[in-house]
Amino acid sequence: MENQATNVVVATRTAFSQATALIVQYGFSILGAIILLVGGWLLSGLISRWAYRGISRIHGIDETLARFFENVLHYGLLVLVFVTVLGQFGVQTTSIVAALGAAGLAIGLALQGTLQNIAAGIMLLVLRPLRVGEYIETASVKGYVKEIGLFATQLKTPDGLYLLAPNSTLWNTPIINHSREPDRRQELSIAVANDEDTAKVKKTLLDIIRSDKRVRNSPAPRVFTDDLTADKTTLKMEYWAETRKWSETRRDLIEQLKQGLLENGISIK
């Protein structure tokens, strides 16, 4: 009995010593993991904010793109911290990294269309073929750009409708930007009777066009014969105007040209 009691005491002391050693060992590991997590979280936030401020100073970088890079860097650093913490407990991080890679590949395949839109959004924000406030036109979309996001672009149609276009539809097609260039050419045509004095008609048209201050002097406006039939002569007018006033200039000049020809007794066919 005495030997059994002694064995129990020895076993208890051994178990207690081992438990104490494990507590001390894993206690320091847990404490180190907590410190690493907190420090990694704070450091990743600090680094990502520094990166955001640096990227924002680059000329031509959009706010949305700068925020995207900030978030990618922030969460990428957090994943690195998490894997490092697991390594503190003896976990084989190589298998974890492989699993994360496989999961990322699976998610990428599942969200292929979404990732395509993100890639297109990044290219739109970097190369900037369109900007907020500009009027654009593609084979399937046209309107004023309201917001360029990472997934889709918001537009407002000329008749006031809301339009949401996936970025991939804008990136994979030619874009006509009606607002990018400061000046834009306009063409107007008018037909007069063949018995009219063509030289007089041309001079009248040019005088009316040049009298509008919105019309650019360079390139100079011009009027030329564009077509001739048995009963009429078609004259074409070309002039350049400021892009933002292009539509109103066209509307006003049509009225002015009609009134000017009538006042000069010139018959319009």
Q: Return the top range by mean pLDDT from 64-78, 106-120, 210-224.
A: 210-224
Domain residue spans of the chain: 2-99, 123-177, 183-263
Give dist(CA 186, CA 254) in Å, integer. 12
Query: What is the CATH number that goes with domain 183-263?
Result: 3.30.70.100
- pLDDT score at 209: 94
Closest CA to 74 of 96, 55, 57: 55
The pair of three-digit structure tokens given for residue 261, joined into one six-digit string = 């020809």
Using CA atoms, how far apart are residues 226 and 5, in angstroms rounded to an integer? 120
What architecture does CATH give domain 123-177? Roll (2.30)
Query: Is residue 153 classed exposed, middle or buried when 0-12, 13-18 and 19+ CB atoms within 10 A define those classes?
Result: buried
Are the beta carbons of 134 and 121 closer than 8 angstroms? no
208 close to 253: Cβ distance less than 8 angstroms: yes
Predicted local distance difference test score (pLDDT) of residue 267 = 82
pLDDT tens digits, one per residue of 68-111:
777 778 777 887 877 777 766 665 556 666 666 666 666 555 55
Q: What is the pLDDT of residues 19-34, one digit of tens each?
A: 555 555 555 566 666 7
Whether the model clears a pTM of 0.75, i.e. scores above it, the answer is no
CATH domain 2-99 topology: Helix Hairpins (1.10.287)
